[in-house]
Structure 1
């Protein structure tokens, strides 16, 4: 874990080294000041030597200025190192997430990834800055103050030593109890973020079903659970202050009492007693800082493990050593393909699929909900790998391709259409970043989107809100189809992506495909038989297997499932899921 996290310090190593150096310099200056103060009292005030007072006073000012300068520089370099480190961690996590296959993404919830990129990284940033500054300052101050105390008076310093041992044991107990609660907090953060994300993304549904009170209560519960955990942890941590204050004042009383007797016996000077009291505060405050460091480190350790889970996650799908970089054509062959989302699944999602599709063919795919239609097409662009068998695209096993090359030749319009915040042109150019406005317009004409875009006030420069909330479901689907067409793919997959458009528009889109991209293999998943009946062939899926593969006319004669659904839809009394 340390190796994984440490690799991202990179260009901030210099700042990370300079910060503790300056903090140690600050501690040394602060350690010298009580000695100078003792000299002023003993050799200046009591001896009536004003020159000595002026000289030592100037030295104290210079020492204090050095201490201030070292502290400022330590803070500056520490802040830069910790902020830069946090930036590198976020960047590394985000970049690694981009390499994940769907199976990798399935291991993490969206809210969990958001918490890792925000709260967890912030905890690491704070802990790293504290480690560079306080983890150096507190032990150094403790050691220097203890050493100077034994140098001045071993008898009085022994009081510190006993107090430090007792206080260390008590603070250690407090920290160990508090950290158990802090460890439980991060899963609660995930639940809280999940509640917020789900509510905001589905706010229209929430309002449509008048579920605001339910969502408020769910958020209150998630927030309340987090509140209770932190209250329990803080109720333990707050014992730091009373225990610390009791120890400090007990030490001051003991040192003052013992020191006074030693002064009377000429075993200690007044200035030395003042120095010992100052060192007493330094030692005990350093111990207090160390206890807080332990709490922060424990909190950050949980965050560090969660961050490392993302950083160390390796993509399940990787390119071979010498990948194929050219997709010959859009032919597709399934050879005894079986597939499961989880390796230990008892029942596969797809079972022994054998299928051969020629380049340029239009293939319809229909089947009931859960019949694995989407799973079948997801394998073509290698969003998942087959569990058994082989899948060939352009006559080559998909595992032999460079993933980027393969996916650039397989355009997919998924069931859940996503538009990003930006103009319509910017969204369209996800298909081809170098596409001209004319090319974008032509793609939209094929997808029957040009007409409604022209009616918008800004036309193709109309701004799309996050998630495409300012366009209808049908408009969103047509924009996503246009975006896919701009890729000029050899294979185009439409995963139920015309479900929100009317039948006439659906027919126009299919006709445009036949005329404009005849060489592209088109796979159209649909619930309506009218959307696929004109396809070259139609795949009938049932329970993860191919129940039929033929033309519309042939299926009507040979496939019972297809025939019954067709008759039900033609009579307007049912759909595929009612079979």
Structure 2
């Protein structure tokens, strides 16, 4: 959003900074480091987490004591039936009431810990999502060149939702399972060390199963979430280019690309879930075998008189309780692997190198600014597009930038806006190196009107006001009149309060351009950049826009990028670029007389018009 504000000129840019090497990827993050770092985001909610742990511990301890209590009830009934005195109903009633109270306590503890962990997990992911959004405001523009919108949306939505879901489900289960495992083991040892030893067979089986299934589960989880990002990118691209797809009958190709991406997600998704859930099912199978062996051996000990029948019943329940957290830990580990895969993707973004801040940078003086490109070298890759490029534009002058496609026209203004950092040389505004200026300060002084319009869902009033958020409605109306936009705005059903749909599809392309021009008027910049600003309007509207542009450029240092040379005849100076360098410079008449590149472009357009 902030980047769009900068492009349209005016307003406060999102985050300052100067990017070092544009979109370098951070080094991959290890699972252990990701888990540790994820828990750091929960530090803010430490009191709630501690309270949840206490409640979980209390509930689990009640769960540990319940089988022993019920085993005592079974022993009372068995001994009462064997004796002549009968069953001690008062003692039995006391045991059953105590058990009922324990079960009620278990229910309340479970309810409270789920409720609290829901709050903790959602607040944690809220913090993460805010961090991701803030980070996207601080990364260099080149980061967006190398990452699809769909993938970034998947990071901010799918990956963070996955973390929230697994935190909520797994963390309380992990706490309960560890406490239940320890408490159950202690009680089991007091009942029968021999049967306890048999139950402990579950532990090495669990470790071995986790060791076998963890690597493939982790690998496929990473592949799944990366594929999900690609799938979102495919969908987003198809929606944005729907008209193009229809126009060229490309539905079959678009559908084939979607199916291929969807198949990859499906394949990696079921494999990730298969390996993740298999750990739990294998442990359940092992648990059932151990349960049968304990029941058989325990029955023999009861017959031999070495174990009370109530204790056998309690031990069988404890063996289930002991096996349950072991199997559950395998399931929890699978869920954690999924959360870690998402966390790693998020942390790679959060560790991406940011644009540098320029704290205490000087302000640019108001008024028309002098702009100097001094021996600038720049390239989007290892091959430089500009090499030792120099250009000087006096304050208040209009300079037109022309040249063939790929000559470096748009790159020039991108460097002036500091969307990209130059590799060598210096760019000065009023004698100040722009790398020493705060980006918001620099961009508040620069207004841009592009060939592609950037409008947002909302009213026309809000879209124009985006160039100067604190502007009054009267200032907005004045800017719209100056841009000759008010005539069509007042014809709309709600005038300035007309709601624009996504991509402003409910108004024409020319009307969208007039709104962006009104935004530039409102921002009142010292430096103005017009990049093919009239290319999407008809001839009649172009005349109106040109008149507005002439007024807008008065007393401002202006850069006009144009392919149609008819729009730049009156420029103070025309700079012809070729392969990132200045090939020719002069007025329209001088360049025509020189009979060079400019004259060739001019005559080719004249022949096309004829």
Q: Common fold, TM-score beyond 0.5? A: yes
State the shift of 1:430 in Å: 0.4
Q: Which runs of 5+ in 1 are unaligned?
A: 575-579
**Aligned match of 1:455:** 491
Secondary structure at the aligned position of 2:201 is classed as helix
Secondary structure at the aligned position of 2:503 is classed as helix
State the shift of 1:160 in Å: 0.4
Task: Give the Cα–Cα distance (whole angstroms) in 2 for the partners of residues 327 and 559 of structure 1.
Answer: 40
State the shift of 1:573 in Å: 5.7
Does the CA contact (< 8 Å) of 1:320 and 1:401 recur in 2?
yes
**Aligned match of 1:545:** 581
Secondary structure at the aligned position of 1:75 is classed as helix
Report the RMSD for the aligned CA atoms in angstroms: 2.0
Of 228, 235, 256, the match for 1:196: 235
Q: Report 1:115-514 matches (<5 A).
A: 115-237=154-276, 239-240=278-279, 242-316=281-355, 318-328=356-366, 329-342=368-381, 345=382, 347-514=383-550
Deviation digits for residues 440-496 of structure 1 (CA, Å, limit 9, x no counterpart):
233223333222222222222111111112222222222112112210000111111
State the shift of 1:261 in Å: 1.1
Q: Which runs of 5+ in 2 are unaligned?
A: 1-32, 81-86
Deviation digits for residues 80-127 of structure 1 (CA, Å, limit 9, x no counterpart):
000000111001110121122312333432222111111111122123
Task: Give the Cα–Cα distance (whole angstroms) in 2 for the partners of residues 378 and 111 of structure 1.
Answer: 24
Secondary structure at the aligned position of 1:129 is classed as helix
Does the CA contact (< 8 Å) of 1:327 and 1:409 recur in 2?
no
Change (3 A) 1:470 1:180: same
**Aligned match of 1:61:** 100
Q: Does 1:25 align with 2:89?
A: no
TM-score, normalised relative to structure 1: 0.94
Q: Which moved more, 1:178-187 or 1:240-249?
A: 240-249
State the shift of 1:4 in Å: 4.8
Task: Give the Cα–Cα distance (whole angstroms) in 1 for the partners of residues 559 and 539 of structure 2.
Answer: 18
Does the CA contact (< 8 Å) of 2:62 and 2:105 recur in 1?
yes
**Aligned match of 2:28:** none
Higher relative contact order (CA 8 A, sep 6+): 2
Change (3 A) 1:348 1:233: same
Change (3 A) 1:515 1:195: closer
Task: Give the Cα–Cα distance (whole angstroms) in 2 for the partners of residues 163 and 402 of structure 1.
Answer: 62
**Aligned match of 2:89:** 50
State the shift of 1:21 in Å: 2.1
Task: Give the Cα–Cα distance (whole angstroms) in 2 for the partners of residues 157 and 481 of structure 1.
Answer: 80
Does the CA contact (< 8 Å) of 1:26 and 1:67 recur in 2?
yes
Secondary structure at the aligned position of 1:99 is classed as coil
Task: Give the Cα–Cα distance (whole angstroms) in 2 for the partners of residues 186 and 322 of structure 1.
Answer: 41
Task: Give the Cα–Cα distance (whole angstroms) in 2 for the partners of residues 559 and 385 of structure 1.
Answer: 35
State the shift of 1:8 in Å: 3.1
Deviation digits for residues 114-157 of structure 1 (CA, Å, limit 9, x no counterpart):
11111111122123224430111112212211221111100111
**Aligned match of 1:567:** 603
Secondary structure at the aligned position of 2:369 is classed as coil
State the shift of 1:508 in Å: 3.2
State the shift of 1:507 in Å: 3.7
**Aligned match of 2:22:** none
Task: Give the Cα–Cα distance (whole angstroms) in 1 for the partners of residues 541 and 559 of structure 2.
Answer: 18
State the shift of 1:41 in Å: 1.3
Of 30, 33, 42, the match for 1:9: 42
Change (3 A) 1:517 1:556: closer
Does the CA contact (< 8 Å) of 1:548 and 1:559 recur in 2?
no
Secondary structure at the aligned position of 1:549 is classed as strand
Change (3 A) 1:324 1:6: farther
**Aligned match of 1:577:** none
**Aligned match of 2:113:** 74
Change (3 A) 1:376 1:389: same
How many residues end up aligned between the 2 structures? 570
Does the CA contact (< 8 Å) of 2:76 and 2:88 recur in 1?
yes
Q: Does 1:104 align with 2:140?
A: no
Of 549, 555, 566, the match for 1:530: 566
Deviation digits for residues 289-333 of structure 1 (CA, Å, limit 9, x no counterpart):
1111111111222211111122222323x2334201233432111
Deviation digits for residues 405-464 of structure 1 (CA, Å, limit 9, x no counterpart):
110110112333211000111100101123233322332233332222222222221111
State the shift of 1:567 in Å: 1.3
Task: Give the Cα–Cα distance (whole angstroms) in 1 for the partners of residues 433 and 90 of structure 2.
Answer: 91
Does the CA contact (< 8 Å) of 1:429 and 1:486 recur in 2?
yes
Change (3 A) 1:107 1:483: same
Secondary structure at the aligned position of 2:523 is classed as coil
Q: Does 1:35 align with 2:68?
A: yes
